[in-house]
């Protein structure tokens, strides 16, 4: 090939794109990563990282302010919101600079600009100032991610997006969060913990509609006890400015007023700009599940939120890894292997109590007519829970009644996001309950809760009363 050429051009530097870029560069391919804004994507710059930073701060505050029964007393913590926001930017900046170093060290060339496919094996990079140049490449990975969905029921600007909701100029006195998915419950808990009066509205009859229902119910009860006003089955029909704030009206006739409204109503794909790119993406989508579209000598692939709209960062990372594997095969042998769907992707919410789960839910098993055995452990019975004064929590294991294979693990309680790796290994490897119990878990640790739930699934609970099993 003549002129500037690359083995792979990756368009979009979020978790799916940067992961694939690093991997391919490690395999010694020549990789160009085109990112219109900052590497790290939504997750690092406007999503998971800033939200987890704020949530960490809220956790520390909560723990310190409730330490008195232990004999440790703190005066109420003072929050300097401007400092908080500066610190969040520092965290983002330091992680981004780390990621840039990793990309550079791997040999990925990162270029700031808008990338678009213009022809077979050719992309165009436009920098901010309208300057364009063309680049040739053997393969193109589209990974332009997603953007927050805009609610249909509100005039422009009145309802903040979930991204904007992380960077409020000041702490509001009252807040309405529309949407009780992961992002919504995190925002609601975060601000409630910082002293804001919060109302959380969810269209469906329960929070976290994708989670196991028992987990949702326990979270709901805990949120209400923590003073969050939760309104379920509440479809918002109108949002209006009033003289002293913003009014949210629901289908059932309810009216809620707050000074700030955040809409956490999901995300939608952020397709590339030009017609050729869009057409290529359409071809890739039509060829699902292969995720590849061969255009003459060039392979076009897509990964991450661009394909689904709303995913998780870890799901996108797993896809980035798999996409890189496929592209590597294609670059080597001219053929791409079938796309291997990653193991079940865990869901999570970093509120308090935390939520994490992976694999089949009880409702899904019921709908599929699968015979399952359920083992439950209420974390309040455990040493760590008594020590930390935490009562709200449930770990639930679902196993195939015949084979004993672990099909799903669903958890709500302190630190359960840290335990999800263990749950993921158990589920993704198709281990049985008895195999899962061979592992010795540290006493006293939160991870014992998974062991206890596994024992309960065998009908032999150890550190808990017999709750029955089905």
The one among 378, 424, 453, 456 contacting a copy of itself by CB under 8 A: 424
Give catalytic residue positions. Answer: 443
Both tokens assigned to 317:
């990372």
Report d(CA 218, CA 336) in Å as an integer. 45
The smaller minimum CB distance to a copy of itself, of residues 87 and 295, is found at: 87
Cβ atoms of 389 and 69 within 8 Å: the answer is yes
CA distances from 333 to 240, 290, 319, 330 (A): 59, 17, 21, 5
What is the footprint of a copy of itself within residues 13-42 (CB under 8 A)?
15, 19, 22-23, 26
The one among 184, 346, 375, 408 contacting a copy of itself by CB under 8 A: 346
Report d(CA 270, CA 419) in Å as an integer. 32
CA distances from 190 to 8, 88, 202, 252 (A): 41, 14, 17, 27
The verdict on 403 binding a copy of itself (CB under 8 A) reads no
Residue with tokens 């680049």: 135
The verdict on 332 binding a copy of itself (CB under 8 A) reads no
Cβ atoms of 464 and 381 within 8 Å: the answer is yes
The one among 10, 57, 399, 407 contacting a copy of itself by CB under 8 A: 57
Least distance in angstroms from the C-beta of 327 to a copy of itself:
14
The verdict on 364 binding a copy of itself (CB under 8 A) reads no
What is the footprint of a copy of itself within residues 241-300 (CB under 8 A)?
none
The verdict on 170 binding a copy of itself (CB under 8 A) reads no
Please say whether the dihedral angle defined by the alpha carbons of residues 357, 363, 365 and 368, taken in this order, is positive or negative.
Answer: negative
The one among 373, 378, 436, 456 contacting a copy of itself by CB under 8 A: 436
Instruction: Please state the φ and ψ torsions of residue 414, each to the nearest 5 degrees.
Output: -65, 140
The verdict on 410 binding a copy of itself (CB under 8 A) reads no
Report d(CA 425, CA 404) in Å as an integer. 16
The verdict on 434 binding a copy of itself (CB under 8 A) reads no
| Pairing state between β 347-349 and 298-302 | unpaired
The verdict on 438 binding a copy of itself (CB under 8 A) reads yes
The smaller minimum CB distance to a copy of itself, of residues 371 and 465, is found at: 465
The verdict on 82 binding a copy of itself (CB under 8 A) reads yes
Q: Which stretch binds a copy of itself (CB under 8 A): 73-81, 206-214, 269-277, 328-336?
A: 73-81
The verdict on 94 binding a copy of itself (CB under 8 A) reads yes
């Amino acid at each position: 090939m003549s002129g500037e050429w690359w083995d792979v051009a990756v368009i979009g530097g979020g978790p799916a794109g940067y992961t694939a870029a690093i991997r391919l560069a490690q395999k010694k391919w020549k990789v160009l990563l085109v990112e219109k804004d900052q590497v790290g994507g939504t997750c690092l710059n406007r999503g998971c990282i800033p939200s987890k930073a704020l949530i960490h701060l809220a956790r520390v505050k909560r723990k310190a302010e409730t330490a008195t029964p232990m004999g440790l007393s703190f005066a109420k913590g003072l929050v300097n919101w401007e400092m908080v926001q500066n610190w969040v930017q520092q965290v983002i900046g330091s992680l981004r600079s780390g990621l840039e170093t990793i990309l550079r060290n791997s040999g990925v060339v990162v270029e700031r600009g808008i990338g678009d496919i213009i022809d077979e094996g050719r992309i165009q990079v436009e920098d901010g100032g309208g300057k364009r140049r063309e680049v040739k490449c053997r393969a193109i990975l589209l990974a332009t991610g997603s953007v927050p969905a805009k609610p249909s029921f509100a005039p422009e600007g009145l309802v903040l997006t979930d991204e904007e909701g992380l960077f409020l100029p000041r702490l509001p006195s009252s807040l309405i969060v529309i949407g009780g998915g992961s992002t919504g419950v995190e925002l609601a808990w975060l601000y409630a913990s910082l002293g804001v009066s919060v109302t959380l509205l969810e269209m469906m009859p329960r929070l976290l509609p994708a989670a196991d229902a028992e987990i949702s119910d326990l979270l709901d009860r805990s949120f209400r006890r923590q003073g969050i006003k939760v309104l379920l089955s509440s479809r918002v029909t109108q949002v209006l400015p009033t003289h002293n704030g913003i009014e949210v009206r629901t289908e059932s006739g309810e009216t809620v007023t707050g000074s700030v409204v955040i809409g956490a109503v999901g995300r939608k794909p952020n397709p590339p700009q030009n017609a050729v790119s869009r057409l290529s993406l359409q071809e890739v989508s039509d060829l699902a599940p292969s995720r590849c579209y061969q255009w003459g000598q060039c392979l076009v692939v897509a990964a991450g939120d661009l394909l689904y709209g709303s995913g998780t960062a870890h799901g996108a990372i797993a896809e980035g890894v798999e996409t890189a594997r496929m592209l590597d095969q294609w670059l080597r042998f001219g053929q791409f292997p079938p796309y291997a769907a990653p193991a079940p992707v865990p869901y999570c919410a970093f509120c308090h109590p935390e939520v994490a789960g992976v694999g089949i839910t009880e409702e899904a098993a019921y709908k599929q007519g699968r015979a399952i055995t359920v083992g439950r452990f209420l974390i309040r019975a455990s040493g760590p829970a008594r020590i930390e004064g935490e009562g709200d929590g449930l770990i639930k294991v679902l196993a195939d009644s015949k084979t004993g294979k672990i099909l799903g693990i669903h958890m709500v309680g302190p630190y359960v996001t840290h335990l999800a790796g263990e749950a993921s290994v158990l589920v993704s490897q198709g281990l049985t309950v008895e195999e899962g119990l061979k592992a010795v878990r540290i006493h006293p640790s939160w991870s014992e809760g998974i062991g206890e739930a596994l024992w309960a699934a065998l009908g032999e609970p150890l550190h808990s009363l017999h709750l029955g099993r089905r």
